[in-house]
Amino acid sequence: MNSTAAATAKLIADAGIERVFGLPGGEVLVLMDALRAAGVDFVLMRHEANAGIAAAVHGKLRGQPGVVVTTLGPGAANLMLPLSNAFLDQEPLLAISAQLPDDFPASHTHQRLPLHDVYRPVTKYAAKITADTVGEAVPRALTVCMNRPFGASYLTLSAREALKPVDAVPKRAAADPNGGATPARQGDAGEKARELRDLLGKASRPLVLIGLGIDPANATRIRRWVKDWDLPVAVTPKVKGIVDETRGNFVGVVGGMAADDLMCEALKAADLLIGFGLDPVEIDSTWHAELPIHWILEAENVGGIVPPATQLVDHAQLLDALIRAQPPSTWPAPFREVQQKRCERLSDRSGAPGVMWPGDIVQALDAVLPPETIVTTDVGSHKYLFGQFWPSREPQTFWMSNGLSGMAYGLSAAIGAKLARPDVPVLAAVGDGGFSMNAQELETAERVGAPFITVVLEDGSYSLIKLAQAGKKLGTYRVDFGPIDTVKMAEACGVDGLRTVNPDQLASAAKRAVERRRSLVIGVPVNDADYRRIF
Ligand SMILES: Cc1ncc(C[n+]2csc(CCOP(=O)(O)OP(=O)(O)O)c2C)c(N)n1
């Protein structure tokens, strides 16, 4: 007879999940062992939050839920960041933690936390795994986080329950109709295509805004539509690469990255804004509610939000209909001026000695890394830089926390990405603040065979917050920190490191690391004041 832990592990393995991420405690050892026996690897990390972030990115790239496994109490408490990130950044994550057995006396308060109550608001499904519920709870948890908008599920399994026998080996259930499935798409794709064509026929400055609600499976279709019709297009950061950003009709990245003033100029100048899968969760100001946007959504946005009078419509059918139709007009580069000014921002070089101009970092790396390179960023000024200016060319090659905007994402995301796509180079661009939150995962990356390049933009400060202080006319206060030697940190984790302010040296070191399939950490001193010129 199978144990509940074995049944849980089997359901996870049967879902095609080959690895989970986590950090153990005594109460989760039986589940870990069951996972091992079921052929599911355990990627041991150095913080549960990092494990959850890596798992979610790994899952999304593999088209399945990422799974993170932790102990109870403190291990489970460390899941708040990745669960919140999965919720707001539409990443599919199943978190399983231990919990005290139900039959423990109420006086046993050691490590007792109201975990379900805490996590229910940020998850789509939270439940206990028991011998009786395992066959329902695990498949449902796996299913709901893959219903769009992707999000998180949370399950607990007590060490006592893990050992209990289950009567029958549960089968992987088909999608559960009560599992928070995407609401029906009432909109007629053919009708929507005609409506859109009419609107575009009357527009002289249309702008297609593509957001998180587009399925990467529709990348070829949307690329074809905007190319064939030569439509001006902008994207939000989390779908960078859904269209080729080096093409002439690419206007820029909206949602609060660098050069946002230019993007807002374009938004205001447009006479038709088409929000194709646009999810305001990525937008840090309120233009999405103030400007008239023609929404084209196929699933509700984060938080269950669907703009008024918007009918959900199947994107694939709609795009097929649009591709079949002739463009109703031509729009010869109506945002040319904005595009030019955007490019100029990167070349407005600083002459400050001993640092690298941030724009040179982007350009040097772009010159040597292949277009399929997956780039992850942390959160801070460097995210604004890379979010706007890294020229993404392929879908799902750019990863950042942008709904939550939580620091300590970049390095963990790089581990998840590299394990999911071992043949593709991975670059993590992080600030020195964020790097010091989880640099220890460099050792994880080495140990589990996930080499990638980390570029640490060293400015000795939480520079985005420093800029915000200046913006509020406040004096600089408690945003600068002393140096931690990036190179030594890397070396302490068994990874090669170097520091440079020479763009050519940066480029050649990155190229060599990719060729050799080796991890490399490159510290690049920058001047935080330079960001102001780019933003
Ligand atoms: C977990 C978390 N804590 C705090 C913040 C607020 N915050 C946003 S950006 C930032 C500064 C990040 O500094 P660094 O990593 O050095 O990057 P930089 O801005 O210098 O590029 C901070 C503190 C956050 N987004 N996430």
> DSSP string spanning 232-298?
-EEE-GGGTTSS-TTSTTEEEE-SSSTTHHHHHHHHHH-SEEEEES--GGG-SSSHHHHS-EEEE-S
Task: Please give the number of the atom of ligand 1 that sits closest to the Cα of 457.
Answer: 21
Task: Please give the number of the atom of ligand 1 that sits closest to the Cα of 81.
Answer: 1
Cβ atoms of residues 253 and 282 within 8 Å: no
Task: Please give the number of the atom of ligand 1 that sits closest to the Cα of 464.
Answer: 19
Task: For residue 435, report the distance from its CA to the centre of ligand 1, in Å.
Answer: 10
149 cis-preceded (ω within 30 degrees of 0):
yes
Decide whether any atom of ligand 1 lies within 6 Å of the 298 Cβ. Answer: no
Task: For residue 385, report the distance from its CA to the centre of ligand 1, in Å.
Answer: 14
Decide whether any atom of ligand 1 lies within 6 Å of the 462 Cβ. Answer: yes
Helix (H, G, I), strand (E, B) or coil at 110: coil
Task: Please give the number of the atom of ligand 1 that sits closest to the Cα of 459.
Answer: 20
pTM: predicted TM-score of the whole model, two decimal places: 0.97
**Of 461, 438, 453, the residue nearest 376 (C-alpha):** 453
Decide whether any atom of ligand 1 lies within 6 Å of the 534 Cβ. Answer: no
Q: Whose CA is nearest to atom 10 of ligand 1?
A: 380
Residue type, 239: V
Neighbouring residues of 149: CB distance < 8 A, sequence distance ≥ 6: 90, 212, 213, 279, 299, 300, 301, 302
- The tens-digit pLDDT sequence of the chain (535 residues) is 699 999 999 999 999 999 999 999 999 999 999 999 999 999 999 999 999 999 999 999 999 999 999 999 999 999 999 999 999 999 999 999 999 999 999 999 999 999 999 999 999 999 999 999 999 999 999 999 999 999 999 999 999 999 999 987 666 555 444 444 555 778 899 999 999 999 999 999 999 999 999 999 999 999 999 999 999 999 999 999 999 999 999 999 999 999 999 999 999 999 999 999 999 999 999 999 999 999 999 999 999 999 999 999 999 999 999 999 999 999 999 999 999 999 999 887 777 889 999 999 999 999 999 999 999 999 999 999 999 999 999 999 999 999 999 999 999 999 999 999 999 999 999 999 999 999 999 999 999 999 999 999 999 999 999 999 999 999 999 999 999 999 999 999 999 999 999 999 999 999 999 999 999 999 999 999 999 888 8
Decide whether any atom of ligand 1 lies within 6 Å of the 156 Cβ. Answer: no
Decide whether any atom of ligand 1 lies within 6 Å of the 526 Cβ. Answer: no
Task: For residue 457, report the distance from its CA to the centre of ligand 1, in Å.
Answer: 12
Task: For residue 500, report the distance from its CA to the centre of ligand 1, in Å.
Answer: 23
| Burial category of 263 from C-beta neighbours within 10 Å (exposed 0-12, middle 13-18, buried 19 and up) | buried
> DSSP string spanning 275-288?
EES--GGG-SSSHH
Residue type, 40: V
Task: For residue 482, report the distance from its CA to the centre of ligand 1, in Å.
Answer: 15
- What's the CA gap between 287 and 384, in Å, rounded? 18
Q: What is the DSSP letter of 440?
A: T
Task: Please give the number of the atom of ligand 1 that sits closest to the Cα of 385.
Answer: 21
Task: Please give the number of the atom of ligand 1 that sits closest to the Cα of 430.
Answer: 15
